[in-house]
Amino acid sequence: MTGTEAGESGAFGVADDWSVDHAALRDSSLGLLGSLDLRRVVPGADAGGSRTHDVFEARHQRIPSGRAYGGEIVAQATDAVTRTVDAERPIHSLHGYFLRAADVTLVTTWEVERLRDGRTVSSRAVRGHQDGRVVFQGLASFQVLGKGAEHAAPMPSGVPEPESLPTSAEMLAGTNVRDSEYWGHERSFDMRHWPSPVYVQAAERESTEIDGNLPQHQVVWLRAYDRLPDDPRLHRTALAYLCDYTMLEPALRRHGTAWADEGLMTASLDHAMWWHRDARVDEWIAFVQESPAASGGRGIGYGRLYTRDGDLIATVMQEGVLSLPGAGG
């Protein structure tokens, strides 16, 4: 199947219907699949009739903040560019900037420019906009798989098995913060933190203090709630989708802050991702994360994604606005 053929609505086995019952999103991956149900608009062409750009439309999952989830934005950008490249050239990197928040009630239009199709590498530019205002812009690269040197950073030892850890829903049981239902049940993925998550309660200093400071690292196990279609392009795109949920959490952990703390403000600024090998997101994936730096009202998140067997499948980095409660953050 070519990239063009893959671009039709419902290509990943999603019903060609943009109306989703909100209740059906509970403990389900329908939010993920629905957000990747891009609809193709008539592709553009140059004077000679060769296609130079493609246009898609996408809708967003409704979430409490009213702003589209950043990982959904990255995944839609990834999906749009992927649909313009032949399947034998998988995506290997994407670099993009979040330019403004996207409104979950509006359709986002994705424009893809076909910059180059070389012998083994293809390059694409992608821009998402709502009502004429750009919300995201990025560049992506695709390559025919080749042979060469291989190495990978090992997965940390001593990480608990996901079955031994409580779910996000279990950790949020009995809380009444605004986002608890969304955090616990509507994120398309079963998520289990180690150490304990910082949804409502900040990291515990007594049990996690290192050299006088709280740690700036964590591991999150993730697995799609539902069995997903077998298309490897969907699983690559879904990796982009899940990454933004917890990218800044190590920085919050380091500074003793929880998501529910009054006065906390975060926003993704940019996103860079490299895909190393294929894996299924409906099987357990360990997201090993840390925050190497925070300054100037911004924080850096760095993460490596591993299969349960310890294969490194992707690397991701992000900088985001990080305004902590209290004077001076």
Q: pLDDT tens digits for 112-162?
A: 999 999 999 999 999 999 999 999 999 999 999 999 999 999 999 999 999
Residue 105 CB neighbour total at 10 angstroms: 11
The pLDDT value recorded for residue 192 is 98
Q: CA 59 to CA 63: how far, in whole Å?
A: 12
Q: Is 155 contained in some domain?
A: no
Question: pLDDT tens digits for 60-102?
Answer: 999 999 999 999 999 999 999 999 999 999 999 999 999 999 9
The residue range of the domain holding 192 is 3-146+161-323
Q: What is the domain-level CATH number for residue 308? A: 2.40.160.210
Q: Is 195 contained in some domain?
A: yes
Q: How many independent structural domains does the chain possess?
A: 1
Q: CA 81 to CA 117: how far, in whole Å?
A: 13
| pLDDT confidence bin for 21, thresholds 50/70/90 | low
The secondary structure of the chain, three-state, reads CCHHHHCCCCCCCCCCCCCCCHHHHCCCCHHHHHHCCCEEEEEEECCCCCEEEEEEEECCCCCCCCECCHHHHHHHHHHHHHCCCCCCCCEEEEEEEECCCCECCCCEEEEEEEEEECCCEEEEEEEEEECCEEEEEEEEEEECCCCCCCCCCCCCCCCCCHHHCCCHHHHHCCCCCCCHHHHHHCCCEEEEEECCCCCCCCCCHHHHCECCECCCEEEEEEEECCCCCCCHHHHHHHHHHHHCCCCCHHHHHHCCCCCCCCCCEEEEEEEEEEECCCCCCCCCEEEEEECCCEECCEEEEEEEEEECCCCEEEEEEEEEEEECCCCCC
Which range, of 36-50, 113-127, 246-260, 312-326, averages the lowest pLDDT? 36-50
Q: Is 152 contained in some domain?
A: no
As a whole number, mean pLDDT of residues 246-270 equals 94
Q: Is 187 contained in some domain?
A: yes
Token representation of residue 72: 């959904």
Q: Is 156 contained in some domain?
A: no
Active site (annotated) includes residue 268: yes
Active site (annotated) includes residue 318: yes
Q: CA 35 to CA 44: how far, in whole Å?
A: 23
From the candidates 29, 35, 168, 268, which is the catalytic residue?
Answer: 268
Q: Is 153 contained in some domain?
A: no
| pLDDT confidence bin for 15, thresholds 50/70/90 | very low
| The pLDDT of residue 207 is above 60 | no
| pLDDT confidence bin for 204, thresholds 50/70/90 | low
Active site (annotated) includes residue 19: no
The pLDDT value recorded for residue 13 is 41
Q: CA 303 to CA 290: how far, in whole Å?
A: 6
The pLDDT value recorded for residue 25 is 81
From the candidates 244, 282, 289, 291, which is the catalytic residue?
Answer: 244
Question: pLDDT tens digits for 226-243?
Answer: 999 999 999 999 999 999
- In a 13 Å sphere around the CA of 11, the CA atoms on its Cβ side amount to 23
Q: CA 56 to CA 82: how far, in whole Å?
A: 12
